[in-house]
Structure 1
């Protein structure tokens, strides 16, 4: 069954001849006809087993609503719960009087608090796409198999994700295990940078495409955080690609630090090494139960980061 339209509003209309309880997967075939596969995050080779979280705005059309929700989630405003205080950092530059008729330019990073109506977050579905082989041909499928139910919101989201990306999708009844070998899985959501110490100038070059997407007023603050974390000499550095673009990860012996340059307003610390971390989906990464510490982008964040390393040297330190 092929669905070819912009978006669906309910499943029952599309599956009117299908009984609930049927195992299905969402797919597209003849993938060579799509010219946005690299933009989505796949390589030029389109190898069997490549799996990726679709890049926001990588669809065949002009809309990015579904890919954005899939990658970043959303929120519900809850005015009955009052307001919440949020923070953002920006740089301020001014001319400072030095005496004798001279001035000098001074730049300072400041933290600005603001209040907004409380927002209840909606976790991103984080549906990933995988290239598999079917009857000697490469096809793209969703990484999740569904048992059809007419009120399955995740299934509806996945179909709409394919429609935004490809303007069509095909519903297959075959079992996913018959289509792909998970041993061949090659996640493309992270780019591993060369091992060893990474001087800030070199790391900044790797991050240039991402930094250029940030607002100039907060770019100095963003660079300061990355530079400070990098100064602690991580054993591994990795940057997000595809739908993970904007994230920078630092692996240390005892934990992994994840910083977002585009989305969110916090540094996340995970008790996981690179190999374990790279296997997580975005939904799992952002799950509040997985990170061991969350450091808000506000005054004092350097101290909190530094305390992570102090506690390693002094394991009995409970500060």
Structure 2
């Protein structure tokens, strides 16, 4: 369906009606649109990873992630969101600042730890949902090409988070295409997506797996890696503290790499889009059983968020209780 607005505050009545007509519990967000071969040639759809008409052969499926400039949901999808919980009691928070010795940088610098009560927060991790595109035919006597565009995330109407996820995915598709809809799945598609959804993480004990290789795959094996990214790769490949093993994200969490510490704390890092490290007060057994919805939204009482500023390593180790002399 085509809608005038770019973003919905609530699900449109037409889509609620379409949803009510679907008997099955499992649905996905999908739409069909027409695009012109001329627009493809002029580069209009490069942001969808369509560079030429040849990219749309009969069997190909093109995946892309919307730019954060497409709209509010697209931005959350890429970088996450932080919400201040002003209705909850404040809690003590510590962070580090670096300053000059005796007010003179020529005499060196020192790091000081500041602790003060702050409002609790809820962190929504980047969802990193991809949109998929397939050519489903060409209009007769026209250069218009029919495309099916959908989100390969299975939604269950019986899930307690269904309403939130349904609206989020509708907006993600709407912001990129100006169209959105909802469909049920064939049993074969349903079984395949359920199987893939159940596989989110793999645990790699110390000494198993090529961790650096897995990280490089996550960032696309780029030839030119910035110094800051290289620093993060080195840090997570060989952390300067004891760990039990690495956690490798797969499928919908494929861009994440994690560490588990001996006390059960989990550290998650995203090398592509994440602008922060997340420290979860959990353990592998509990963490691996979390649903996607439970993992995406974490309160600061359960999770610490460490931004990638110049003191990120010291701040991370302060959160972990590692003393610096």
**TM-score of the two chains, using structure 2 as the length reference:** 0.52
Q: What secondary structure does 1:15 align onto?
A: helix
Instruction: Supply the distance in 1 between the matched residues of 2:243 and 2:81 (Cα, whole angstroms).
Output: 32
Q: CA 1:301 to 1:75, structure 2 compared with 1: closer, same or farther past 3 Å?
A: closer
Partner of 2:228: 211
SS at match of 1:152: helix
CA contact (8 A) 2:201 2:250 kept: yes
Give 2:141's aligned residue.
Answer: none
The 2-side partners of 1:31 and 1:185 are apart by: 30
Structure 1: how far apart are the matches of 2:285 and 2:32? 37
Say which of 33, 36, 45 aligns to 2:47.
36
Aligned to 2:142: none
Conserved? CA contact 1:195–1:237, under 8 Å = no
Residue 157 of structure 1 corresponds to: 168
Q: Which residue number corresponds to residue 283 of structure 2?
A: 270
Give the structure 2 partner of residue 66 of structure 1. 73
**1:162 counterpart SS class:** helix
Query: Which residue of 2 is the match for residue 310 of structure 1?
Result: none
CA distance in 2, matches of 1:21, 1:226: 48
Could you tell me how far 1:89 is from its partner in structure 2? 3.0
SS at match of 1:25: strand
Partner of 1:26: 29
Aligned positions of 1:1-319 closer than 5 A: 1-3=1-3, 5-15=5-15, 18=18, 20=20, 22-23=22-23, 24-29=27-32, 34-37=45-48, 54=65, 58-59=67-68, 62-70=69-77, 72-78=80-86, 80-94=87-101, 105-116=107-118, 118-119=119-120, 121=122, 123=124, 126=127, 128-129=129-130, 131=132, 139-145=149-155, 147=157, 152-172=163-183, 174-175=184-185, 177-179=187-189, 181-182=192-193, 185=196, 195=209, 209=226, 211=228, 229-230=239-240, 232=242, 236=246, 248-250=257-259, 257-260=266-269, 262-263=275-276, 266=279, 270-271=283-284, 283-286=293-296, 297=315, 300-301=318-319, 303=321
Compared CA separation, residues 30 and 243, structure 1 to 2 (3 A)? farther
1:281 deviates by 6.5
Aligned mates of 2:257, 2:228 — CA distance in 1: 11
The 8 Å contact of residues 73 and 172 in structure 2, kept in 1 or not, is answered as: yes
Which of structures 1 and 2 has the larger relative contact order (alpha carbons within 8 angstroms, sep 6+)?
Answer: 1
Between stretches 3-12 and 262-271, larger displacement belongs to: 262-271
Q: Does the 8 A contact of 2:100 with 2:109 survive in 1?
A: yes
Q: In the TM superposition, what is the alpha-carbon distance from 1:159 to its structure 2 partner?
A: 0.9
Q: Could you tell me how far apart the structure 2 residues matched to 1:171 and 1:197 are? A: 39
SS at match of 1:163: helix
Structure 2 unaligned spans of 5+: 138-146, 307-314
How big is the shift at 1:234? Answer: 6.9
- What TM-score do you get using the length of structure 1 for normalisation? 0.53
Distance 1:109 1:272, change over 3 A: farther
> Displacement of 1:26 after TM fit?
1.0
- Does the residue aligned with 2:20 lie in a helix, a strand or coil? coil
Structure 1 residues 301 and 12: alpha-carbon distance in aligned structure 2, compared to 1, 3 A threshold: closer
User: SS where residue 46 of structure 2 aligns?
Assistant: coil
**Distance in 1, Cα, partners of 2:16 & 2:211:** 59
Cα separation, 2, equivalents of 1:157 and 1:20: 18
Residue 143 of structure 1, CA deviation: 0.6
CA distance in 2 between counterparts of 1:105 and 1:241 reads: 50
